[in-house]
Amino acid sequence: MSIQFKSITELNELLNSKAISVSELTQESIQLAKKYSELNCFVTLNEENSLKRASTMNRDQKNSSLLSGIPLAQKDLFCTEGLRTTCSSKILSDFIPPYTATVVKKLEDDGSITIGKTNMDEFAMGSSNETSFFGGVHNPWKKGFVPGGSSGGSAAAVAAGIVPAATGTDTGGSIRQPAAHCGITGLKPTYGRISRWGMIAFASSLDQAGPLARSAEDCAILLNSMSGYDSKDTTSLNSDVPNFLEDINQSIKGKKIGIIKEFNLSDLDTEVQKRFDESKKAYENLGAEFFEVSLPNISASVPTYYSIAPAECSSNLSRYDGVRFGHRAENTKDLNDLYIKSRSEGFGDEVKRRILIGTYALSAGYYDAYYKKAQQVRRLIKNDFDQVFKSIDLLMTPTSPNTAFKFESKGIQNPVELYLEDLFTISSNLAGLPAISIPHGQVNSLPVGLQLIGNFLREDQLLNAAHVFQQNSDFHNAKPDLENF
Amino acid sequence: MDQETVRTICYLARLEIDHNKSEKIQKDLETIVELIGSLQSIDTSDIEPLYNPLEMTAFKHEDLEMSDNKKNKFLKNAAESNEDYFLVPRVVE
């Protein structure tokens, strides 16, 4: 029996009815990963350990969590004790973490099985998965096209039906944009909702872990497990975590959805715009009401982000010095030379570019002009969100201005071209707000994503609105043709 | 941004750029600095910077002794170490 493309709920039914065992399910998932190895979704497969774990699992139907015996993939920036964790970088290509990230531990404590670590943009810096030391990931919908990034391996593994769900991280859109490009659902929770402990840092005030799955319902199952306070992360939120499945079926009649005036959607590709108008109509038919809202500073999100994120990155990545862990250069003449050579050999071009920009923005004489200025604009952006959420429940935008594109077709001559891919996603990271991307049709046989942004800690509203949409449409059930890949 | 500035930033970041890539890097950095420089036109007088979206004080936990010594595991990840320390090239003659 094929388990490919099955949801977590469907897999639970198969396990409960004993149509399949946990070992068979794990084996099947690993076989799919191998069968579609050309996609390059995985940096490391956890075959031996996951099969061993599966064979020892006693699945008690009555008391089992919904994740018990379910195969998952983890983005390769979550530390996994004893299992290589590379961040898709040469500098960590041999790194075996001495501990496991809280997120992975929580998911595994609920019975899930980590079948492997997924490919990504190096240190999560990119929007196309092309900056990985281990090579780009192919979009399951079209060979030679990017899956989006930075959680491109996770998105492609879910879209190809290898696993029902995977973890990702989102610093400026890195869950939502690949989810959109691969035709799946991806949720970036509120900043602080999920522990960052053991998650290799890129930009600490923006990074947030979240789930990627084939439906909002499966995302809710993962979010239930991943969320919660962790004393090991000082930015972890000590607030109640609701059961995200509880109200997921509620009617959305009377929900107020805002359309952001400053995003001029008429500049978009006509077909992308058409999908957006159709989804707006679908939400109206479900009883939602639409309002035009103004976020006067939102257009400044991209420059704000590209000042703050590289600054935090340059600080976080200063730990890679070839001394305690990671790549170490040979034949160095002194300690300084060891630092310079280890880092220069270990980091790829995009990572270097961002470290340099961040170093510049933080250096004497420029700190106020670039870094502090960006953090001031960030407050203006957050204030704008606070204002609009007084009168509306959700905001709706496209996830990305475009569909997936061909390898090496963007950002080669000018990196800013690729940075503008994040136009619609970045602002919720700056403000710390939750946002979700759901598939809502295709353009030229490639999936297009719809983004909903929610108020602080209102992932329940996002999942509810996404689930109700999916109950009344079929876009999330579309499958790529992988037989002739 | 001139080549001298690029060299200074590279040194501060402890990075070396291949000679044949330095012109491209300089051009890329100029483009990005121009992008982030566009923020100058926004009036931010009297606006406090927002360094973290939560703006919370870090939670303090009780000052309890905890034993979680993973020294050997941590040393194992280093390219060069002895049983107690990470090893680096000699810094004192």
Q: pLDDT tens, A112-155?
A: 999 999 999 999 999 999 999 999 999 999 999 999 999 999 99
- Does the annotation mark A150 as catalytic? yes
Q: What is d(CA A439, CA A261) in angstroms, rounded to the nearest whole number?
A: 23
Q: What is d(CA B88, CA B80) in angstroms, rounded to the nearest whole number?
A: 7
| Per-residue confidence band for A97, with pLDDT thresholds at 50, 70 and 90 | very high
If you average pLDDT over residues A306-317, what whole number do you get?
A: 97
Chain B residues in contact with A431 (beta carbon < 8 A): 53
Assess whether pLDDT exceeds 80 at residue A2. Answer: yes
Q: Concatenate the DSSP letters of all residues of B8-65 into one string.
A: HHHHHTT----GGGHHHHHHHHHHHHHHHHGGGGS--TTPPP-SSTT-PPPPPPP---
What's the pLDDT score for residue A449? Answer: 98
User: Which residue of chain B is at minimal alpha-carbon distance from A315?
Assistant: B13
Q: β-strands A446-454, A394-398: how paired?
A: antiparallel
Contact A344 B47 (CB under 8 A): no
| Per-residue confidence band for A437, with pLDDT thresholds at 50, 70 and 90 | very high
Chain-wide mean pLDDT for chain A? Answer: 95
What's the pLDDT score for residue A280? Answer: 98
Contact A352 B80 (CB under 8 A): no
| Per-residue confidence band for A48, with pLDDT thresholds at 50, 70 and 90 | very high
Residue A468 neighbours by CB under 8 Å, 6+ apart: A249, A250, A251, A252, A286
Q: What is d(CA A366, CA A357) in angstroms, rounded to the nearest whole number?
A: 11
What's the pLDDT score for residue A13? Answer: 94
Assess whether pLDDT exceeds 80 at residue B19. Answer: yes
What are the structure tokens assigned to A55, written together?
Answer: 């064979």
DSSP A90: G
Q: pLDDT tens, A208-225?
A: 999 999 999 999 999 999
SS3 B78: coil
Chain B residues in contact with A231 (beta carbon < 8 A): 59, 61
- Kindly report the CA angle at A86 between A84 and A90, in degrees rounded to 5? 125
What's the pLDDT score for residue A431? Answer: 98
Q: pLDDT tens, A221-248?
A: 999 999 999 999 989 999 899 999 999 9
**Under CATH, what is the fold of the domain A1-485?**
Amidase signature (AS) enzymes (3.90.1300)
The identity of residue A88, as a single letter, is S
Does B60 touch chain A if contact means CB atoms closer than 8 Å? no
Q: pLDDT tens, B81-93?
A: 999 999 999 888 7
| Per-residue confidence band for B1, with pLDDT thresholds at 50, 70 and 90 | confident
What's the pLDDT score for residue A62? Answer: 59
pTM value surpassing 0.95: yes
What's the pLDDT score for residue A296? Answer: 97
What's the pLDDT score for residue B22? Answer: 87
If you average pLDDT over residues A278-283, what whole number do you get?
A: 98
What's the pLDDT score for residue A63? Answer: 61
Top-confidence range, A59-63, A128-132, B16-20? A128-132
Q: Where are the domains of chain A?
A: 1-485
Chain A residues in contact with B86 (beta carbon < 8 A): 323-324
Assess whether pLDDT exceeds 60 at residue A61. Answer: no
φ, ψ for residue A379, nearest 5 deg: -65, -40
| Per-residue confidence band for A412, with pLDDT thresholds at 50, 70 and 90 | confident
CA distance B68 to chain A (A): 11
If you average pLDDT over residues A423-427, what whole number do you get?
A: 96
The identity of residue A219, as a single letter, is C
Chain B residues in contact with A123 (beta carbon < 8 A): none
| Per-residue confidence band for A45, with pLDDT thresholds at 50, 70 and 90 | very high
Q: Express as a percent the part of chain A with pLDDT over 70.
A: 99
Assess whether pLDDT exceeds 90 at residue A260. Answer: yes
Residue A463 neighbours by CB under 8 Å, 6+ apart: A187, A216, A217, A219, A220, A223, A244, A248, A436
- Does the annotation mark A372 as catalytic? no
If you average pLDDT over residues A436-440, what whole number do you get?
A: 98
Does B13 touch chain A if contact means CB atoms closer than 8 Å? yes
SS3 A463: helix
Query: A-contacting residues of B 36-55, CB under 8 Å?
Result: 36-40, 42, 44, 47-54
Burial label, B5 (beta-carbon count in 10 A; 0-12, 13-18, 19+): middle
Assess whether pLDDT exceeds 80 at residue A332. Answer: yes
What's the pLDDT score for residue A290? Answer: 98
| Per-residue confidence band for B31, with pLDDT thresholds at 50, 70 and 90 | very high
If you average pLDDT over residues B2-29, what whole number do you get?
A: 92
| Per-residue confidence band for A419, with pLDDT thresholds at 50, 70 and 90 | confident
Does A95 touch chain B if contact means CB atoms closer than 8 Å? yes
Assess whether pLDDT exceeds 90 at residue A384. Answer: yes
- ipTM of this predicted structure: 0.94
CA distance A387 to chain B (A): 15
